[in-house]
Amino acid sequence: MKTPNMLDAKKRNQNDIKYVKYNKEFDKFGNGKKFFVRTYGCQMNEHDSEKIKGMLKSVDFSEGTSVDDADIVILNTCAIRENAHDKVFGFLGVLKHLKQSKPDLLIGLCGCMAQEEVVVNDILNKYKYVDFVCGTHNLDNMLSIIKNKIDTDKRQIEVLSYEGDVVEGVPVVRDSKYSAWIDIIYGCDKFCTYCIVPYTRGTQRSRKHEDIVEEVKKLVSDGYKEVTLLGQNVNAYGKDLYKDYDLSNLLSDVSDTGIERIRFVTSHPWDFTDKMIDVIASRDNIMPYIHLPLQSGSNKILKLMNRKYTSEEYLKLYNSIREKVADSSVTTDIIVGFPGETEEDFLETLNLVEECKFDGAFTFAYSPRENTPAALMKDAIPEEVKMDRLHRLNEVVNKYSNLRNQKLLGTTVKCLVIGESEKDKNKVCGYTENMKLVNIEGPKSLIGNIVSVKITDTKSFSLDGEYIKE
């Protein structure tokens, strides 16, 4: 049994990181049994789930349609806010009942919550029906963990609190045939004071650029239209590995593969260079969409958050992106109710949002995370004040999303059609170059293609359009 330790998770041991190939050999011990993976959290977790599915299928497990027909259920969890925790523990409650009627059901937990001491202690003491726990740093070892559980019938808890290796070639089964996630950098060294990610995902580790470009080339030959480069802070790409190769170089090299669409998330404003903006602006296949988390418009709060930029610096970068990258859209993340946030601080955030007129924003009420510096800060903001600010912020955010969307009315845009529309099964849906969701009047045969669409109506969170034959 290996359990997590938050103090160890804080340490940074850059020198020990090894680059290795996935070379695990197993008998096909899945025997066709069915698995169900439920994913919480960010795109990196979505992609990790694709690797979990890939590993399971490689030993002859098959994907079930729901928890009810599954022999093994895996929860790939997120620890970013308290409500992410609550959802997972709620679902574990449901699984407890299921296991009473199906005693052979295997239940596993992995992802960021698995890296938290408090969570693993709770699982050890109170959730005895959870059969295995696997951390983020040893995800590639999940099959051994499951096999040990099956062979010995003993609970398996294996969580490392130091960075794992960068493992290439983990089997992957992608959810989409057109658009693919690609990890480019793991972990985070920013230590924003509110955030648990540097503890759950460890130090920054970039993949080698050759491996990334190879992966993209393979996807192009498999018919993929789009790749999204993933990292907690993609703009730090290469810093841990190279002297003179950064995200701008990687974007150019990925662009040269000829893949039709390239996206990347998330960009920390601190590491965004002019060179990066220039590459984004000059390449047609790099999409003009940037997610640029602001967090707060108050310099006092930004400092307490350890974000390392001022609101003035943010605005300068923001304007430079808007000026240089034609028809770009920019979205952001904002936290309200950080400890010590006064009404004046909050009004500074509102002012900056008024000034930037973002295409969209993910807005959050601050949620204290165990062992992070902000959790120990004085002047916690009462829940009702946080909710009031969140509500006021959302009104302004929605006003500008609407306005930005309205500007597209009557224009013709390119969309990558990804599937049936969720709102109306007779329509399809897709994304514009600048990441707007469009519900499209058009045949199902458009799915998987980049097509022209005329925008006929706009809402806060989506657009309506009709397919234009060329």
Binding footprint of ligand SAH on the chain (CB under 6 A): 80-81, 194-195, 197, 232-233, 266, 268, 293, 295, 333, 335, 364, 366-367, 369
Type of residue at 308: K
Query: For residues 394 and 456, which CB has a smaller minimum distance to ligand SAH in the complex?
Result: 394
Q: Does 136 bind ligand SF4 (CB under 6 A)?
A: no
* Pick 30 or 111: Cβ nearer ligand F3S: 111
CB of 102 to ligand F3S, least distance (A): 28
Query: From the list ligand F3S, ligand SAH, ligand SF4, none, which binds 367 (C-beta under 5 to 8 Å, kind-based)?
Result: ligand SAH
Q: Would you call 392 exposed, middle or buried from its count of C-beta atoms within 10 A (0-12, 13-18, 19+)?
A: middle
- Which one of ligand F3S, ligand SF4, ligand SAH, none interacts with residue 333, CB within 5 to 8 A by kind? ligand SAH
Cβ of residue 85: shortest distance to ligand SAH, in angstroms?
11
Under the binding rule (CB under 6 A), the answer on residue 4 touching ligand SF4 is: no
Terminal C-alpha separation, the chain? 61
Characterize the bridge pairing of strands 463-468 and 450-458. antiparallel
Element (H, E) at 254: helix 247-256
Label residue 22 exposed, middle or buried (CB < 10 Å: 0-12, 13-18, 19+).
Answer: middle
Binding flag, residue 80, ligand F3S (CB under 6 A): yes
Q: Which of residues 183-242 bind ligand F3S (CB under 6 A)?
A: 196-197, 200-201
Largest CA distance in the chain: 64
Q: Do residues 201 and 187 make contact, with C-beta atoms less than 8 angstroms apart?
A: yes
**Using CB distances below 5 to 8 A depending on partner kind, what does residue 198 bind out of ligand SAH, ligand SF4, ligand F3S, none?**
ligand SF4
Instruction: Please report whether residue 17 would count as binding ligand SF4 according to CB under 6 A.
Output: no
**Partner in contact with 269, chosen from ligand SAH, ligand F3S, ligand SF4, none, beta carbon below 5 to 8 Å by kind:** none
Closer by beta carbon to ligand SAH, 195 or else 227: 195
Give least dist CB 200 to ligand F3S, A.
5
Does the CA dihedral 443-449-451-455 come out positive or negative? positive
Burial 115-143 (b: 16+ CB within 10 A, else e): bbbebbebbeeebebbbbbbbbbbbbbbb
Nearest residue (CB) to ligand F3S, 201 versus 209:
201
In eight-state DSSP terms, residue 115 is: G
The single residue among 78, 107, 334, 435 that binds ligand F3S, judged by CB under 6 A, is 78
To which residue do tokens 């983990």 refer? 170
Among 360, 44, 50, 38, CA closest to 197: 44
Can you say whether the dihedral through the CA atoms of 421, 81, 138, 59 is positive or negative?
negative
Which one of 191-199, 217-225, 296-304, 319-327 is the stretch in contact with ligand SF4 (CB under 6 A)? Answer: 191-199
Q: Does 42 bind ligand F3S (CB under 6 A)?
A: yes
Residues found near ligand F3S in the complex (CB under 6 A): 41-42, 44-45, 78-80, 111-112, 196-197, 200-201
